[in-house]
Amino acid sequence: MKRSNKGRKILWPLLFFTAGFLLYGGYEPDAYIVVLDPGHGGRDLLPKSVYGDKYDPLLGEYRDHFRPGAQNKGLIESEEVYSIAEKTYKILELTHSSEGQKEFEQILKKYSKNIGNINWENQKPIKVYISRIPGYSKEYLSKKTDINAPYRLYDFPDIYTGEMQKGTISRINALNPHLVVSLHLTAGRKEKNGAIASVITPGYDTYKMALDYVRTKNVSKRQKIRRKFFASPYANWMVSNDSRTHFQWFLCDAWIYFTGYWSKKDGLSADKRKFRGYRHNMMQWIYADKEDWVETAKKHPPNSPYSFDLLNFTPEGPFWEREKDIPERWRRTEGEEGYGGDNLYASQELLRYIRNGMIVNKVNSKKTAPKILNPYLSTWSVPTYLNAISAYLELGFLDNSYDRERLVNHKQVYAEALAVGIYSLVYSLQQDSGSKDELLPKGKPINFEKYENYNEENYFKKVTSPIY
């Protein structure tokens, strides 16, 4: 495949994460780097000590069983989202050849009456990666080894040599992407016409409410913090099960965010039986603590970042500096949607493109198009630990007949809408004037440059330099 770029002929290799992919995974100075991240793959097999995920250097074992994603009546989440990612990849690849560009412009015209004169020669191209190889079902029978190796989120020791290997989060960060689009499906919600939703994680200031809540003994101050939480966009915090309220789950997740430990139900002390590990030290990036952190952390000294008590926990070290810094506020707190930062804007914008894609391709009417739900709010790993704009999408419910029908028959529409949405987030796409439909995309691009120029360091590149 030959593609032109500024008059040069460049071969853009189709690179999944083979050895070549890893070697190639440096930065690409002349491109916007986009990673399509289809969730899961792999299998939840026993024993956890061999097949698990979330490898914790403190314990020297996996904290969690492997999470293979949802399935329902023959539809497997990891397979469906991989297929959508592959199709999206192919559509975005059109932007690299002059014939392809013409085809891509025809697609854009479905979504915008005025796409203008696109100056393909002079704009920085979009370079696309897929974060993992296809799912287990094509390969697992032939492999008699650690079949989850290509799919783990966190770093893990090689089953034979013990040498640490990159998990998906480390691999994605090593590509220095501008934008990562994570694709998931779920089950269990009965929306009439099916639904789509963003998955986001708040910034430091939101979690700090929990820190303040635990540290004050004053009842009226605690009530004030509680009211502030319920007046915030995070009031509808993810409830994992009915054993705790929204606020209690928020407190518990804030404990996990800060200390790694679950809290007890009242959110005032640690549940020492439930430890998730120091997640920011379970991946390769510049925000991990220095090498000797494990020995200190094992002692959980008070007044340190390894204290198990939020009362005397100190948010110090490279990760906590990152968390308090301005780019994380842009990414997770402020922004176009009024909260949730560029992560939420990118996610919502892609959902609006998907909804619109179903309408312009006549799969659905405005009435039957998938509903855009409120975002899922929690201390999720992917949007927290990626040094990129993270658009994390739930594309549908595997037990909903409308979503199933769209997934089975219209994957190409999801892919097309995602490709157009990614184009729009990178370059902008003019929306037809006069339309006040807030369910339509806004067409505004992400200001990647402010991240690239913050503090004279490139936010996207510094995550793995100068070590790697």
Which residues contact Zn ion by CB under 5 A?
A: 39, 69, 184
CA distances from 239 to 202, 204, 207, 377, 379 (A): 15, 20, 16, 9, 12
Smallest gap from Cβ 338 to Zn ion, in A, equals 27
252-284 burial, b at 16+ Cβ within 10 Å, e below that, comes to bbbbbbbbbbbbbeebbbbeeeebbbbbbbbbb
> What distance in Å separates the CA atoms of residue 26 and residue 17, rounded to the nearest whole number?
13
Which residue has its beta carbon closest to Zn ion? 184
Smallest gap from Cβ 397 to Zn ion, in A, equals 12
Smallest gap from Cβ 106 to Zn ion, in A, equals 33
Smallest gap from Cβ 302 to Zn ion, in A, equals 37
Smallest gap from Cβ 245 to Zn ion, in A, equals 25
Q: Are 357 and 349 in contact (CB under 8 A)?
A: no
Smallest gap from Cβ 182 to Zn ion, in A, equals 8
The dihedral formed by the CA atoms of 389, 390, 391 and 395, expressed in degrees to the nearest 10: 170
Quick one: 77 or 253, whose CB is closer to Zn ion? 77
> What distance in Å separates the CA atoms of residue 369 and residue 437, rounded to the nearest whole number?
14
Smallest gap from Cβ 15 to Zn ion, in A, equals 24
Pairing type for strands 195-200 and 371-372 reads parallel
Quick one: 85 or 446, whose CB is closer to Zn ion? 85
Smallest gap from Cβ 83 to Zn ion, in A, equals 15
> What distance in Å separates the CA atoms of residue 370 and residue 368, rounded to the nearest whole number?
6
> What distance in Å separates the CA atoms of residue 423 and residue 445, rounded to the nearest whole number?
9
Cis peptide bond upstream of 47, omega within 30: yes
Smallest gap from Cβ 184 to Zn ion, in A, equals 3
Quick one: 39 or 277, whose CB is closer to Zn ion? 39
Smallest gap from Cβ 377 to Zn ion, in A, equals 16
Quick one: 69 or 267, whose CB is closer to Zn ion? 69
Quick one: 125 or 134, whose CB is closer to Zn ion? 134
CB 372: neighbour CB atoms within 10 A? 18
> What distance in Å separates the CA atoms of residue 287 and residue 283, rounded to the nearest whole number?
9
Quick one: 37 or 93, whose CB is closer to Zn ion? 37
Quick one: 39 or 383, whose CB is closer to Zn ion? 39
Quick one: 184 or 244, whose CB is closer to Zn ion? 184
Quick one: 234 or 392, whose CB is closer to Zn ion? 392
Quick one: 133 or 268, whose CB is closer to Zn ion? 133
Cis peptide bond upstream of 466, omega within 30: yes
